[in-house]
Amino acid sequence: MKLFATYLGSDHNKNIFGTIKQVTIMTLLVVFITIMVGIWPGIVYKETAGYQFSKYDIHLNGPITGEFIKELSEELPAGAATLGLLSSAAQVVVDQAEARVQTTYYDSQSEGALEMGPVNSDTLVAGDISSDLPVIADVYTAKGLGIEIGDAFTVKGIGEAGSGDQEYEVRLSGLIAPTTGVTGLYLPADLSRLGGSEIGGEEMPIFSDLYIQSEPAASIDLATVGQGQWSETVTGMTRQQELKSALAEVESSMPKRIRDALIGASLLVLMIYLVREHSVRLDRRQRQLAILSSLGMSRAAILRFFGAEQLLLAVVPIALGSFLGVSYLGSVGIWLPRQTEYGVLGAVVGGFAVAVVLSLIGLRRKLARTDMARLLSAE
């Protein structure tokens, strides 16, 4: 270990700038490789972010609770979040026996983006949600509107683009004590898609219950699809087709063959540089290796020394170069999915590993051919 520590970088130790220069060049190469390998998946990810959900199979095998949604969100890669995961495919009411309703905040004002609030503890404090058209208000909203359970009232929808305003006659069926700080009406799926509403001339936020997109078909305790059609299963609408066409559109801008060729070429540049660098380093130290051999170091031990040194010298460029490459892509708005980050790291590490193996094969052949005695005898 002591010998190795002294040997490490020993051809540069009189000139530390030599080692710094080599590490810097390797780092820049890794930055280049990271960008080359990561940029395309990053662009695809960015352009199809709205469809990412359909890449994930979501199996609903039990009551849908806030905890479940939380866990689900954590499994998704950063950026995908729940965007597109939740949509108005089905209204799900769970654990009806305990008269609880799970709710998800649907922000209709922000162009369809969904934000999940804490959803697990909005407890029905009065009424019944098993009717065909359950309409629930939190106690503050009900008080403000002056309505009680069983009262009928009109909801005037602002309507989706181009559909015009619509009015719905509904009847309040339950009250909840809100715990999320969000107050308003909780309506079945179809009504909540109005995009906004007025009640008695006042704008009123409308929330729908939990909407789950599921592929394959989800199996849940109890659900209602549309208005009052109770079902024990929910078939999620797939957007796979949309994703495919979006991907096709993005990918058509650069043929796969060219992309692969660019990645391959950049990896090749890295490997050629490394093998060449290793070869130069080896030539510089031929006499040193001959001396170690004369002191009793076997070829295998010399190979281990050389290989370990190359691997150690690669750690900083790999770590720093990958980080800088990914950061650069992020700075231009291209965030990589986690899988791609792993892929980039794999490509870089793989490139280094191949280069080190090639170098070691070359070194092994060179050592076998080198006339150690002649090197030692040379003045």
Partner 1 sequence: MIIESQSLVVGYGNQRANPIIDGLHFSAFAGDIKILWGPSGSGKTTLLNSLAGFIKPWSGMLAYRGHDITDLTESATADFRNRNIGMIHQSFNLIPAFSARMNVAAPLLIAGGKSKNSLDAADRIMDSLGISHRKDARPSELSGGEQQRVALARALVNEPDLLLADEPTGNLDEHNSQKILGILADQRDRGRAIIIATHDPRVAGIGTDTLVFPLVS
Q: How far is the CB of 24 from partner 1 (least distance, A)?
A: 21
Q: How far is the CB of 29 from partner 1 (least distance, A)?
A: 26
| 369 part of the interface to partner 1, by CB under 8 A | no
Rounded to whole angstroms, the Cα distance separating 329 from 332 reads 5
Q: How many CA atoms lie within 13 A of 255 on its CB side?
A: 3
Residues 353, 307 contacting (CB under 8 angstroms): no
Using DSSP's 3-state secondary structure scheme, residue 317 falls into helix
| 324 part of the interface to partner 1, by CB under 8 A | no
| 17 part of the interface to partner 1, by CB under 8 A | no
Residue closer to partner 1, measured from CB, 161 or 368 = 368
Find the angle CA(151)-CA(153)-CA(154) to the nearest 5 degrees.
165
| 97 part of the interface to partner 1, by CB under 8 A | no
Residue closer to partner 1, measured from CB, 8 or 133 = 8
Q: How far is the CB of 43 from partner 1 (least distance, A)?
A: 47
Residue closer to partner 1, measured from CB, 6 or 231 = 6
| 109 part of the interface to partner 1, by CB under 8 A | no
- DSSP-assigned letters across all residues of 13-63: TT-HHHHHHHHHHHHHHHHHHHHHHHHHHHHHHHHTGGGGGGGS-----S-
| 72 part of the interface to partner 1, by CB under 8 A | no
| 10 part of the interface to partner 1, by CB under 8 A | yes
| 379 part of the interface to partner 1, by CB under 8 A | yes
| 312 part of the interface to partner 1, by CB under 8 A | no
Q: Is the peptide bond before 188 cis (omega within 30 degrees of 0)?
A: no
Rounded to whole angstroms, the Cα distance separating 52 from 106 reads 20
Using CB under 8 A, count the residues that bind partner 1. 29
E strands, 122-217, are: 123-127, 136-138, 152-157, 166-171, 174-177, 185-187, 197-199, 202-204, 206-208
| 52 part of the interface to partner 1, by CB under 8 A | no
Residues 213, 87 contacting (CB under 8 angstroms): yes
The window from 16-24, 161-169, 220-228, 371-379 that contacts partner 1 (CB under 8 A) reads 371-379
Binding mask 259-298 for partner 1 (x = CB under 8 A): ----------------------------xx-xxxxxxxxx
Burial class (CB in 10 A: 0-12, 13-18, 19+), 323: middle
Residues of this chain that bind partner 1 (CB under 8 A): 1-3, 6-7, 10-11, 13-14, 287-288, 290-301, 372-373, 376-379
